[in-house]
Amino acid sequence: MAVVFEKPKSLADIPLHYCPGCPHGIIHRLVAEVIDELGIEGKTIGVAPVGCAVMAYDYFTCDMIEAAHGRAPATATGIKRARPENIVFTYQGDGDLASIGMAETVHSAARNENITVIFVNNAIYGMTGGQMAPTSLPGQVTQTSPYGRDVNHCGWPIKVCEMLSTLEGPEYITRVAVNNVKNVKNAKKAIKKAFENQIAGKGFSLVEVVSACPTNWGMTPQKALEWVESDMLPYYPIGVYKDRSAAKEEK
């Protein structure tokens, strides 16, 4: 029988630990497919975060390092500066990237560090059991905002793409989603571009992937994807927030 669908080579053939219905599996796969298609598996070095994707170092078959919480862009900077010929990516969640690691995120973007950042925004701390994240929506009920996120008490969610795109530094800042087939296809295109930018030496590329957390949102996987559409995407609109090369071409 002909094989029509395979696991990407860059993804290890082992069970993932993610919860049922969690889009991390899709996003891992997209990253791995892109690495395969670009033929860079042998020279890619991945940086895993602290959070749900903490064990990504077991799943990707390229060289991997586990960073401290929020420090993935700094660790990636060290690797890239030591080995500019390698391709370096980080894979981070919202707590990691937009809360404890905000300084590392902003400054690696400002330096236009030639790395690729995959930022998975599911509006909650998943690994620790569903606490309020820097991206939790106003009114969102979490373990640490049991009465709903009160913006007067703990402030507003952070729109990472909007913020980073105000910087001169970064090459490419974009937001995608993986809640339906069309969005998944577009997400892959954006991830591919983010890696291609690095190969071309263009600099810092960040792809925010609006994701879901059925377990900690207390929803079925189906309902969670609907909530992405109805609640997440209006607050975090899909789109290209910065694309320096494209902007230059237009001029």
Partner 1 sequence: MAERVLMKGNEAIAEAAIRAGCRHYFGYPITPQTEIAAYMAKKMPKIGGVFLQAESEIASINMVYGAAAAGVRVMTSSSSPGVSLKAEGLSYIAGSDVPALVVNVQRGGPGLGGIQPSQSDYFQATKGGGHGDYRMIVLAPASVQEMASLTIKGFNLADKYLMTSMILADGTIGQMMEPISFEDAEIETYEKPWALTGTNCEREHNVVNSLYLKPDELEVKNFERYERYKIVEENEPMWEEYMMEDAEYCVVAFGIASRVAKNAVAAARAEGIKVGLIRPITLWPFPKKALLAAAEKVKSFICVELSMGQMIEDVKLYTQCKRPVSLCNRCGGMIPSPNEVLEAIRKAQKGEC
Q: Which positions touch partner 1 (CB under 8 A)?
A: 41-45, 47, 54-55, 57-58, 60-68, 71, 74-83, 86-87, 103-104, 106-107
Among candidates 91, 83, 87, which has minimal Cα distance to 59? 91
Separation CA 110–CA 214 (nearest Å): 34
- Closest to partner 1 by CB, 51 vs 214, is 51
* Least distance from partner 1 to the Cβ atom of residue 112, Å: 13
* Least distance from partner 1 to the Cβ atom of residue 99, Å: 14
- Closest to partner 1 by CB, 64 vs 219, is 64
Q: State in Å, rounded, how far the first CA of the chain is from the last one.
A: 52
- Closest to partner 1 by CB, 128 vs 186, is 128
* Least distance from partner 1 to the Cβ atom of residue 172, Å: 21
- Closest to partner 1 by CB, 17 vs 185, is 17
* Least distance from partner 1 to the Cβ atom of residue 231, Å: 33
* Least distance from partner 1 to the Cβ atom of residue 71, Å: 4
Among candidates 52, 60, 55, 36, which has minimal Cα distance to 191? 36
Separation CA 143–CA 130 (nearest Å): 6
Separation CA 137–CA 125 (nearest Å): 13
- Closest to partner 1 by CB, 78 vs 237, is 78
In three-state secondary structure terms, 116 is: strand
Q: What amino acid is encoded at 152 in this protein?
A: N
In three-state secondary structure terms, 152 is: helix
